[in-house]
Structure 1
Amino acid sequence: MTGTETPRGAAEEWSADTPALRPRPAGPRPAGPPRTTPPRAEGVGPVVDCGIYVAGRREEASHPHDALAEATARGGFVWLGLYAPTEVELGAIAERYGLHPLAVEDAVYAHQRPKLERYDDGLFMVLKTATYVEHDQLTATSEVVDTGEVMVFLGSNYVITVRHGEHGGLTDLRHTMESQPDLLCLGPAAVLYAVADHVVDAFVDVASAVEEDVDELEAAVFSDRRSDDIGRLYQLKRELMSLRRAVSPLEVPLQKLSERQIDVVPEAMRSYFRDVEDHAIRVRDQVSGLDELLTSILQASLARTSQADNEDMRKISAWAGIIAVPTAIAGIYGMNFEFMPELKWRYGYFMVLLVILSVCVALYRGFKRNGWL
């Protein structure tokens, strides 16, 4: 790494909020809400897979704890995959690989934002994963986007992936990488690239699926059928925010990997990270566009609801005006005065009915012509 070296015990954090590196002091973190370790089935260890890669080819390690020494002796690197390790489990691995305590704490408790940090001669990267939750019908409580996390510890001769969440498995990715020895020959940074590319590709799929939900809601809002879509729109907007929080902060870490000179990232890998950055920017723009479209649809839905309420009020007012005519006439001739005109007239009853009917028909035609009925 070029530039001023970071003292041991401090870390330089690369995030979307800070365009440059900034030191983060060592020591205990401020007290916050209690955090729990993600649950894991009883009897299942944290190690998902462990392999040694020499000249792009996999060689089995005798034991995960001895993999680093074996990889160093063979001139390769070790790829250790973990799932939701506890503090004790990851602490034992951290001692053998020399992982920084702050990075270990982040990897154990998760709930981190996407970022890239440099600890001494290694890197620690956090990526948010996302998957689309299938549903028969979108409701005001539907879960649309489920997120998890993948942390990557990167050194000169090791890469450790730590996964949290029920999705985002890396087994298929490992098999794909093992079929590309030319890429694995570039070292541990190739694994970091593959993980980042895998995560961003998942973002593309999720964004495309969410876009279909947005199109469905848009069609429902502008259809002739009256429905209450406010709750569904707001829920989808909230779910889209989860995807946006996973995608947007990832741009700066990928930019650093593609532009900065980093010891553990060969120069040949920069173009790969630049490609992932381009994909991430496109997804970010797509998510931003969907969010703006949802805002417009929400405003249109509110306007249509208000318009429908106004139409209902006009109809009620029109019918109230029509009913007021017979009510008024009946009220006048129901006052029981002895001396009232036309009371003794033979055809008075029929004349009153004719007047009421004529006035009501005239009012109805007038309201209908003006669009009130």
Structure 2
Amino acid sequence: MIVDCALYRGGFRQEVDGDIREALKAATAHDDAFIWIGLHEPAPEEFETVSKDLGLHPLAVADATYGHQRPKLEDYGDTLFVVVKTATYTKPAEIILGEIMVFVGPGFVITARHGDANPLAPVRRRMESDPTLLATGPSAVLYGVLDEIVDSYDVIAHDIESDIIALERRVFTHDGQDVTEDVYTLKREILEFRTGEDPLLPVLQELVKGRIPLCVRHKERFRDVQDHLLRIDQKIDAHSEMVTNVLTAHLAVLSKRQNDDVRKISAWAAILAIPTMIAGVYGMNFEHMPELGWATGYPLALGTMGSACLLLYRKFKKSGWL
């Protein structure tokens, strides 16, 4: 559905009078005017009306209608079609990806949003608060959309880093908690995030090259967004490596704890072997055995058992097995 449609002239918003065709005619009549149509999960028949009035390429319209596209840039002569992935990060660790399709042409911009993430409302407010930038044409809106989305990527990268630090703390606590599943979950979400942000780099590289006439005017601004995205991409690479290191450390800690448990069990088994052996010998019920007739035989046997156990306990305690 159409969530917003406005005419911008000289960087200032004007409400659209009449249908889209009349608004486009009014926009093309002035060099500093264009219309901005915002759509959310548009139905095919709804997009068909818009595409006919603006002369959009049918392949791009099909992509924008049904979604599920990778980030990409397609140049259809007078119209530029850009697909960008939006991302939100929820707790527990989960990346939810959406899509924004942007059509940029002479005198118009169309933004079609799929998914719950909505970075377009702040983009429109930000652009309307800067009439000088907005007056530079439709490609300024594309810059604003890309800049806002890359900024949201930065927030997500920071949240992921916080979760990695929290996982590290849990790994090195002494409560014996197994966090292997949580580590793999976070690693999977980082990989999913990469599928959204990483393919955007070639799109920005193409815009920065200055080969697209519609966007030449904002080449420097697109370069700034590209630099920002490159830093985020490096962060995500580092995060992925950190999660791998956390998993390695966690497995090492689990192995050490298992070894400690085995040593403790072995130590106690050795301690209990002494009284078990003595009691087993005196439990064989032979008639002629030493000390059976002694009055001090029973306390002597108990004392021997206790002394041997205490001696072994002190030895194992000193060596760190207990």
Paired residue type of 1:115: K
In structure 2, the residue corresponding to 1:187 is in which secondary structure? coil
Q: 1:73 aligns with which of 29, 37, 55?
A: 29
Q: Which has the higher helix share?
A: 2
Paired residue for 1:54? 9
> Which residue does 1:283 correspond to in 2?
232
Return the alpha-carbon distance in structure 2 between the equivalents of residues 286 and 143 of structure 1: 17
C-alpha distance in 2 between matches for 1:197 and 1:276? 6
**Residue equivalent to 2:63:** 106
Q: Give 1:90's match in structure 2, choosing from 47, 52, 77.
A: 47
How many positions carry a matched residue from both structures?
A: 320
**Equivalents in 1 of 2:15, 2:224: separation in Å?**
31
Q: Which runs of 5+ in 1 are unaligned?
A: 1-45, 136-141
Distance 2:226 2:294 in 1: 94
Counterpart of 1:195 in structure 2 is: 145
The ranges of structure 1 where at least 4 consecutive aligned residues each deviate by more than 3 angstroms after the TM superposition are none
Q: Per the alignment, in what secondary structure is the counterpart of residue 261 of structure 1?
A: coil
Q: Structure 2: which 5+ runs fail to align? A: none
Alignment of 1:126-145 (within 5 A): 126-133=83-90, 135=91, 142-145=92-95
Distance verdict in 2 for CA 1:143–1:294, change over 3 Å: closer
Q: Is the 8 A contact 2:24 2:107 kept in 1?
A: yes
- Given that 2:28 and 2:106 are in contact with CA atoms closer than 8 Å, whether structure 1 keeps it comes out as no
Deviations 1:34-81 (A, max 9, x none): xxxxxxxxxxxx101111122222222124532222322344221111
Report how far residue 143 of structure 1 moved.
Answer: 4.0
**Partner SS, residue 264 of structure 1:** helix
Conserved 8 A contact 2:27-2:107 = yes
Partner in structure 2 of residue 147 of structure 1: 97
Tell me the distance in 2 between the aligned counterparts of 1:243 and 1:125: 19
User: Cα distance 1:178–1:189, how it changes in 2: closer, same or farther (>3 A)?
Assistant: same
Tell me by how many angstroms 1:359 deviates: 1.0
Counterpart position of 1:217 = 167
8 Å contact from structure 2 (residues 119, 149) kept in 1: no
Is the CA contact 1:61–1:70 (under 8 Å) kept in the aligned structure 2? no
Letter in 2 for 1:71: A
Q: 1:256 & 1:314 partners in 2: Cα distance?
A: 61
2:120 to 170, 185, 190: 170
Q: Could you tell me which of 291, 298, 316 is aligned with 2:265?
A: 316
Cα distance, 1:144 vs structure 2: 3.3
Q: Residue 232 of structure 1 aligns to which amino acid in structure 2?
A: D
Q: TM-score, normalised by structure 2?
A: 0.95
Amino acid aligned to 2:149: V
Which residue does 1:239 correspond to in 2?
189
Task: Give the alignment of 1:294-309 within 5 angstroms.
Answer: 294-309=243-258
Q: SS of the residue aligned with 2:113?
A: strand
How much identity, in percent, do the aligned residues show?
47
Structure 2 CA distance for aligned equivalents of residues 345 and 192 of structure 1: 101
Aligned to 1:36: none
Letter of the 1:93 partner, please give it. Answer: V
Instruction: Check whether the contact 1:132–1:206 (CA below 8 A) recurs between aligned residues.
Output: yes
